Amino acid sequence: MQSVEREKMLLIAAVTAVVVLFGDRFLLGPFLNAWDKRSNRIEELQEQVSRGRALMDREASIRKKWGQMWEGGIPIAKAVSVNQVLESVDRWARDSGISFTSIKPTWRANDDGHMTLECRANGFGDLEEIARFIHSLESDPMALKVDTLELTQRDERGSSLGMNLNFSGLMLPEALK
């Protein structure tokens, strides 16, 4: 009699183990994985909503900044743009004391529908003059930026430096306004 009860207990334990293993493998495990994925997705969405709300809160300042960038952009007429950039470069050069040997503007069309005015300039001056010129170029409301700058020594003391400068300005199409 004891062996029959023992067999029943072993059978119940084996069936229980199989049911628990099946439940863990095919029910509980996938359920917990799906729960974790949904929790992570909810966290991502909450973060996106937070960023969106912050963006909406800053809408006025962003629009104001965009307006300033639009106003500071180079004009749509190519000849006027080149002339305005060259006049500004001349003004910054006079103010800083730097001298240019050449300035070559070229236009590049981008896939996004906007044009870029790229300028290669070669000049010389001392370090302070070059720094003032670069600061003037970068801080002017006209949307210009320095792409590359290379300085070379022109004399033995290093008081005169040669400068190879590439800078560019963005001309946005009317559709983006």
Mean pLDDT along residues 43-72: 87
At residue 171, the pLDDT reads 75
Cα(82)–Cα(65) distance, rounded to whole angstroms? 24
Whole-number average pLDDT of the chain? 86
Characterise 77 by phi-psi region: left (phi > 0), alpha (psi -120 to 50), beta (else): beta
Share of the chain above pLDDT 90, in %: 44
CB 160 within 8 A of CB 123: no
The band of 89, judged by pLDDT with boundaries at 50, 70 and 90, is: very high
| pLDDT value for 78 | 75
- Whole-number pLDDT of residue 165: 94
In this prediction, residue 161 carries a pLDDT of 92
Is the pLDDT at 7 greater than 60? The verdict is: yes
Buried b (16+ CB within 10 A) or exposed e, 68-82: eeeeebbeeeeeebb
Q: What is the dihedral of CA 151, 153, 159, 160, to 10 degrees?
A: -70
Q: What is the pLDDT of residues 94-144, one digit of tens each?
A: 999 999 999 999 988 877 777 888 999 999 999 999 999 999 998 888 878
